[in-house]
Amino acid sequence: KQEVTQIPAALSVPEGENLVLNCSFTDSAIYNLQWFRQDPGKGLTSLLLIQSSQREQTSGRLNASLDKSSGRSTLYIAASQPGDSATYLCAAVTSGTYKYIFGTGTRLKVLA
Amino acid sequence: DGGITQSPKYLFRKEGQNVTLSCEQNLNHDAMYWYRQDPGQGLRLIYYSQIVNDFQKGDIAEGYSVSREKKESFPLTVTSAQKNPTAFYLCASSIGRDRKFVGNTIYFGEGSWLTVV
């Protein structure tokens, strides 16, 4: 059974700092690994999707990497801004299923 | 605009009562999902459906029921058998069983808050 873990659970950084969020998954047979942002009381918004055959994806100040052999993905945020404050969740889709299994998220606060 | 609409945004349930959460999508997606989120927690899968008139239990299906009579709609009923229903409920959809699935993301509605009174 696929299990997804995110560390740290919460993170507080000063504005302008570069930071890394971590995601681990137990079953490396995946279709893809995705990163989402969730603002308080809202739904999730997709940030980046890395297919099983890919190693990384970039969008603006965000870069996500995937290492299936170690069961890890990282989300790198460059030059953080107060507007980046939110909860970030990763989700893995195990091959042969169409179920998205989510981690518990990292709550990020960027201080002005 | 294309998207997923959940209603109501806030719902209160009395003891012993069944309540139904609505989810409608106009993205022409085959797959739809229901997740539950408790405060400070990740998302747990309740039910999912890959095609009309078919659905599967997720990890926490007990006390919940669904139907998929139309491609656009996937309502969730929280029954009186669900003893701790207070949570944030999220509906989502994706392209489903398609060769393009691996490169396509899942889209979420804005969620519904359910509280037991």
| Dihedral sign of CA atoms B67, B94, A98, A70 in order | negative
Candidate from B40, B101, B110 with C-beta closest to A42: B110
Please check the confidence at residue B96 and state whether its pLDDT lies above 80.
no
Question: d(Cα A20, Cα A24) in Å, to the nearest integer?
Answer: 13
State pLDDT tens for residues A100-109.
899 999 999 9
The token duo for B106 is 């899942």
Chain centre to alpha carbon of residue B70? 14
Model pLDDT, residue B95: 86
- For A9, other C-beta atoms within 10 Å of its C-beta total 12
Instruction: Find the mean pLDDT for residues B86-115.
Output: 86
**With bands split at pLDDT 50, 70 and 90, how would you rate the model's confidence at B99?**
low
User: In chain A, which residues have their Cβ closer than 8 Å to the Cβ of B32?
Assistant: none
Task: State the nearest Cα–Cα gap between A39 and chain B, in angstroms.
Answer: 10
pLDDT, tens only, B22-81: 999 999 999 999 999 998 778 999 999 999 999 999 999 999 999 999 999 999 999 988
* The pLDDT of residue A24 is above 70: yes
Q: What are phi and psi of A27, to 5 degrees?
A: -110, 115
Which of B41, B101, B110 is opposite residue A31, by nearest beta carbon?
B101
CA distance, residue B63 to nearest chain A CA (Å): 20
Is the pLDDT confidence value at A93 over 80?
yes
Q: pLDDT averaged over chain A?
A: 94
* Minimum CA–CA partner of A39 in chain B: B110
From chain B, the residues in CB contact with A2 under 8 A are none
Q: How near does any CA of chain A get to the CA of B105, in Å? A: 7
Q: What angle do CA A69, A73, A76 make, to 5 degrees?
A: 145
**Residue from A39, A36, A38, A37 nearest A50 by CA:** A36
Instruction: Give contacts of A51 with chain B, Cβ < 8 Å.
Output: 102-103
State yes or no: pLDDT of B100 exceeds 70. no
CB-CB under 8 Å, A49 with B45:
no
Q: Specify the range with the lowest mean pLDDT, choosing from B49-53, B80-84, B89-93.
A: B80-84
pLDDT-based confidence at A69, cuts 50/70/90? very high
Give one DSSP letter per residue of B24-69, joined into a string: EE-S--SEEEEEEE-TT--EEEEEEEEETTEEEE-TT-TTEEE--S
Across the interface, whether the CB atoms of A89 and B42 are under 8 A apart is answered yes
Say whether A34 and B45 touch across the interface (CB within 8 A).
no
| A71-89 average pLDDT score | 97
